[in-house]
Amino acid sequence: MKISEKGILEIITHEGIVLSPYKDCVGIWTVGIGHTKSLRKGPQFFVRKALSSREVMALFLKDIAPCLERVRTIFNRDITQEQFDAAVSFDFNTGALLRASWVRHFNNGHDDKAKKAFMAWCKPSQIIERRRKEKKLFFEQKYSSSGYVVLYPASCTGDVLWGQGQRVSYSDFFVKPGGRDANSGLSSGRFTSRKETDRKETTRKTAPMGIKEEVFDEQLSPDPAMVPSFRPQQDQEITRAVLEKFSYLTPVDYQNDLIKVLMVRGYYMNIMGNKGQNERAVYDDALFVVSPEGTQSFNGNADPSIFRRGIATIKDPQAIQYSPGLHGYNRRAGPYPAFCQEAPCTVMRDGRGEDTGLFFVNLHRGGVEDTSSKGCLTVPPNQWKEFYALLCGLLEKYGQSTFFLTLLSYPEDEPPVILSSGGAAYRES
């Protein structure tokens, strides 16, 4: 007997999927679906920080193989597919199938004792609900999964960002070439995301275990018509004064944060495209990273690349909270490190109007041929690595786990402050 697709989904539902290395509840480095073996020496095992769906399933099928063999040999009674799947889930979690008393009771025909003994494996307390569902599957033949899995990002320090989990259909995330029968996939260990089958990969064989890694040249420059020829130039006193003026947009508890970001929509609108108009699909906006060490500027994009009903544009003025995470779960190579929306924000949707919530309007790497935004904030690819490393380094150095990005449009394309001999003064607005 082999584990069924429902059984695989049941385990994934219990385990969750974290696509980059993280520390579990007892401090063990883990990745994917409970995979720990390859990270015993630390997360540096992985050349790339995030796994694709194919790699996640390949590791999972390899990890689960010993459990399958133990389940096949431990029972002296005929068992159903549901019981087989439940036992595999139990063993994958505990590794204790061969010494579990409930198995002995079940083999001896004492089902009541087996049910009671099954719930003896409930430490830590977070595992109780999982054990109840496994018990129900084994003794009542009822699966608990809804057909969806949750993908979680992790920070660069190994903390799972539970609040940023993304719920996706199992069939959208894992599709085996040639069909939907997971049993035949067990022998090869090759599951592929639907996105992967639609496009050819550009790969190199430098990742561990022969895993193919997507090549992305972050030094590629966007089309010259999309990005200014120079970075934003603004006196750092003005930048700090602007942030001070609009500090009321940031919750009081965070107003004294040392690391902040100012983004100015339409910063270049008088020298790019139609003069005086903030346009989409170009990097005509400005980003300023502010810290005790000074300010650094980057080109950016604060608007979606396209017009389409429902597409979101972040409303300004507004302060949006971000934290290190992952973006791009539907990419064929899996997500990559970015800054993820941490709290609700307000957007304007094309053809619909204002909307407020947690929409995954992240801050991430933009594209070469377009700005790669359906509502997110993006940075040109040839500046992204510098931008990401700078912010992550500053957050770690100054003990911040999140930062607020203040998004503004300058009135009449001029900063709402001026510098005088007495310091910064506010313009009338």
The three-point CA angle 337-339-343 to 5° equals 140
In a domain, 228, yes or no: no
Classify strands 377-379 and 363-365 as parallel, antiparallel or unpaired.
parallel
Three-state SS at 89 = helix
Query: What CATH code is carried by the domain that includes residue 131?
Result: 1.10.530.40
Amino acid at 73: T
Domain containing residue 36: 5-214
pLDDT of residue 177: 34
Same structural domain, 149 and 286: no
Residue 297: what are its φ and ψ, rounded to 5°? -110, 150
**Separation of alpha carbons 371 and 409, rounded Å:** 19
**Separation of alpha carbons 66 and 76, rounded Å:** 18
pLDDT of residue 391: 93
Give the total number of structural domains in the chain: 2
Residue 312's nearest CA partner among 355, 366, 249 is: 355
pLDDT of residue 105: 97
Sorted by sequence, the CB contacts under 8 Å of residue 296 that are 6+ apart come out as 288, 289, 390
Classify strands 285-291 and 294-300 as parallel, antiparallel or unpaired.
antiparallel
In a domain, 171, yes or no: yes
**Separation of alpha carbons 366 and 222, rounded Å:** 9
**Residue that terminates a domain, selected from 155, 182, 214:** 214
Same structural domain, 164 and 273: no
**Separation of alpha carbons 307 and 83, rounded Å:** 51
In a domain, 221, yes or no: no
pLDDT of residue 424: 62
pLDDT of residue 19: 80
Residue with tokens 């396209």: 306
In a domain, 153, yes or no: yes
Same structural domain, 194 and 252: no
Q: Is 328 exposed, middle or buried (0-12, 13-18, 19+ CB in 10 A)?
A: middle
In a domain, 219, yes or no: no
Q: Report pTM.
A: 0.53
Successive 10-residue mean pLDDT values, the chain, 429 residues:
90 87 80 78 50 80 92 95 96 93 96 95 87 96 86 78 76 48 31 31 28 42 80 91 94 94 89 72 91 94 87 92 81 78 88 84 88 89 92 92 93 71 60
